[in-house]
Amino acid sequence: MPHAVLARLPPGSVRLVIAFGLLLLFSLLVLRRRPAGPPAKAAAARLPVRDPAALFLSLSAGGNASIAADLRALTAGPHLAGTPAAGPAAAHVLGRLRAAGLQTLTREYAPLLSYPGRASSLALLRSDGSPLARLSLEEPADEGRRLVPPYHAYAPSGGAVAEAVFVNLGREEDYAALERLGVGVRGRVAVARRGGGYRGGVVARAAEKGAVAVLIAGRADGGVERGVVLLGGPGDPLTPGWAAAGGAERLGFDDEAVKRRFPKIPSMPVSAETALAIIRSLGGPSIPAEWQAGLGVDAGGVGPGPTLVNFTYQEDRKFEKIHDIFGVIKGSQEPDRYVILGNHRDAWTYGAVDPNSGTASLLDIARRLGIMLQSGWKPRRSIILCSWDAEEFGMIGSTEWVEENLADLQSKAVAYLNVDCAVQGVGFFAGSTPQLDKLLVDITRQVKDPDVMGKMVHDTWNEMNGGISIERLARTDSDFAPFLHHAGIPSVDLYYGKEFPGYHTALDSYNWMEKHGDPLFLRHLAITEIWGLLALRLADDPVLPFDYQVYASQLQLWKF
């Protein structure tokens, strides 16, 4: 291109261009010779900015205390999306981003959300239909009664008076085992234990087999697991592919694309105690030994009957406002390139693990970046910190935002770095798209292990399961789903610990975190540092630290 332009210039212009070029060269030389201007003090303050990672890490002192304080504030009460109780946690995040000196933005959407109505009930009846026992639908651990009662979001209103069948975990192989025993669930209530994969899938499978309702038992240690049962991907079910902004067109409930996403039969999570009361009343073929072991108690048969279950559920479906909150640092050289860090803020209960361990870490990143900005650092590319709402209803806050900004994100987003449950126990786990593997592994060499003195996260990660393993993010159960699976943006997901007993229950409280999850908040600190350093490298490296050789070898490995 430049050649062609020069060739078309008349001879006079060529001389002008050469003269101009010489002038430019001359002024550059003169400018370079000017003695360095800034006074010594400012120069010292600016010195570490040459190494943003070192500066970021140098700000770790007191980070765990600051994270603990934020977590305590965020989890002071329940903050279910779309309810007035969600306000204080949103205000806290906004306030902390502002205090750090970041530019803030809020985006509101009005998706369809789903809450329990007042008239749910569960009772055991004799085979003649006379009442035997009322069963509790409450959560034993919810002593304050401040929480939303256990329910499945988007389960339809309805009910059944029918025999029950115990279906173990409600997987395909469990129904096959029942079939061998000559037991089916058609016209009956399926009673399952949690652990058979996505609860929406468990409900859909039971419906496919002809069940009229599903009850899913929580863990024996007390909690009852709330959760969504929608099918078919993330986002507001009535605005698939576009944002649920005010005035947006919405599909009707009779639209095929909408019907496919909703469960066909009512369902409900119940306590282990309530489920056992039903299971113990069942006759029929004996419960297989390995199911019995999972159940942890001796119970008789898988059913059906002779008792009947009387179950009713009332759903309260409504359009409610949700709020995504953003903290933005504009890039100095490539402002149109975005490095995006995201975590959701909404919780089924108090959310100490899920998700506010991640929120508290995000706020510590904001705190440190704020100090770095003050000391003269500016990222090369833009950094966007995102606090999503309504993730628990199916990644709605993040999905609506991705849908609204799809073209922009596809052309400008460098990477999306997700943290949902930052800390639920011991051991570092990570998933990423393969071009980010190497960067991720490198960074864990720079971050202190929170549990073993003198080691780095990389050492313990490497020793944990016979070598470093990075998950490939095929899951769609957190906010990276719209970024990765819909927009195709390189993504990372980070967490400490794999499973915790309080998942989506009243036990997910600050108290649990302080006692069991992370008593010194040092695992939080490790996540903060890995997450922050990833962002800094992606925002500041002159050449993006992607490794496509790793990507190619992963494609080879997974080809079929």
Ligand X SMILES: *[C@@H]1O[C@H](CO)[C@@H](O)[C@H](O)[C@H]1NC(C)=O
Return the residue of 65, 99, 297, 555 that touches ligand X, per CB under 6 A: 65
Binder to ligand X among 274, 310, 424, 435 (CB under 6 A)?
310
Figure out which of the listed residues 85, 161, 251, 406 binds ligand X, where binding follows CB under 6 A. Answer: 161
In the window 518-557, what residues touch ligand X (CB under 6 A)?
Answer: 520-522
Q: Which residue number, 13 or 121, has a Cβ lying nearer to ligand X?
A: 121
The answer to whether 94 and 104 are in contact (CB under 8 A) is: yes
User: In terms of CB distance, is 159 or 227 closer to ligand X?
Assistant: 159
Residue 64 interacting with ligand X (CB under 6 A): yes
Binding residues for ligand X restricted to 465-524, rule: CB under 6 A:
520-522
Count residues binding ligand X (CB under 6 A).
12
Please report whether residue 361 would count as binding ligand X according to CB under 6 A. Answer: no
* 213-217/189-193 β-pairing: parallel
Any residues with CB less than 8 A from the CB of 232 and at least 6 apart, and which? Answer: 260, 261
3-state secondary structure of 285: coil
Is 391 a residue of the active site?
A: yes
Compute how many other C-beta atoms are within 10 angstroms of the C-beta atom of residue 445.
12
- Chain-centre distance of CA 159, in angstroms? 32
Segment near ligand X (CB under 6 A), from 8-16, 63-71, 236-244, 268-276?
A: 63-71
Please report where in the chains the tokens 């919810």 appear, as a residue: 142
Specify burial of residue 305 (Cβ count, 10 A radius: 0-12, 13-18, 19+): middle
Q: CB 190 → ligand X: shortest distance, Å? A: 18
Alpha carbons 167 and 178: distance in angstroms, whole number: 7
Q: How far is the CB of 308 from ligand X (least distance, A)?
A: 8
Closest CB to ligand X among residues 157, 312: 312
Which DSSP category does 235 fall into? Answer: S
- CB proximity list for 541: less than 8 A, separation 6 or greater: 380
Task: Give the whole-angstrom CA distance, residue 489 versus residue 492.
Answer: 10
- Pick between residue 313 and residue 338 the one whose CB is nearest to ligand X: 313
| Residue 520 Cβ vs ligand X, minimum distance, rounded to whole Å | 4
> Are the C-beta atoms of residues 389 and 89 closer than 8 Å to each other?
no
Q: How far is the CB of 512 from ligand X (least distance, A)?
A: 15
How many alpha carbons lie under 13 Å from residue 482 in its C-beta half-sphere? 26
Q: Does 187 bind ligand X (CB under 6 A)?
A: no
Asked if residue 155 lies in contact with residue 313, where contact means CB atoms within 8 angstroms, the answer is: yes
| Binder among 136, 157, 292, 312 for ligand X (CB under 6 A) | 312
Q: Of 65 and 555, which has the nearer Cβ to ligand X?
A: 65
Nearer to ligand X, 359 or 398 (CB): 359
Strands 308-313 and 121-125: antiparallel
x-or-dash string of contact with ligand X, 109-138, rule CB under 6 A: ------------x---x---x---------
Least Å distance between CB 446 and ligand X? 17
- Which range touches ligand X (CB under 6 A), out of 64-72, 190-198, 210-218, 470-478? 64-72
Q: 503 or 521: whose CB is closer to ligand X?
A: 521
Element (H, E) at 485: none
Q: Which is nearer to ligand X, 129 or 296 (CB)?
A: 129
Contact 189, 214 (CB under 8 A): yes
Amino acid letter at 439?
Answer: L
Residues 66-95 as x/- pattern, contact with ligand X by CB under 6 A: --x---------------------------
Burial class (CB within 10 angstroms; exposed 0-12, middle 13-18, buried 19+) of 556? exposed
Residues whose CB is less than 8 angstroms from the CB of residue 143 and which lie 6 or more positions away in sequence, other chains included: 506
Identity of the residue, 315 or 389, whose beta carbon is nearer to ligand X in the bound complex: 315
Looking at the DSSP bridge assignments, the partners of residue 344 are 388
**Adjacent-strand bridge partners of 309:** 124, 162
Least Å distance between CB 274 and ligand X? Answer: 15
- Active-site choice (391, 392, 400, 403): 391
CB of 522 to ligand X, least distance (A): 6
* The pair of three-digit structure tokens given for residue 142, joined into one six-digit string: 């919810």
Q: Give SS3 for 301.
A: strand
Amino acid at position 285, single letter = P
Least Å from the CB of residue 496 to ligand X:
15
At 539, list the tokens: 């925002």
Tell me the Ramachandran region of residue 511: left when phi exceeds 0, alpha when psi lies from -120 to 50, beta otherwise. Answer: alpha
Nearest distance from C-beta of residue 365 to ligand X, angstroms: 17
Which are the catalytic amino acids?
391
**Binding positions for ligand X, rule: CB under 6 A:** 64-65, 68, 121, 125, 129, 161, 310, 312, 520-522
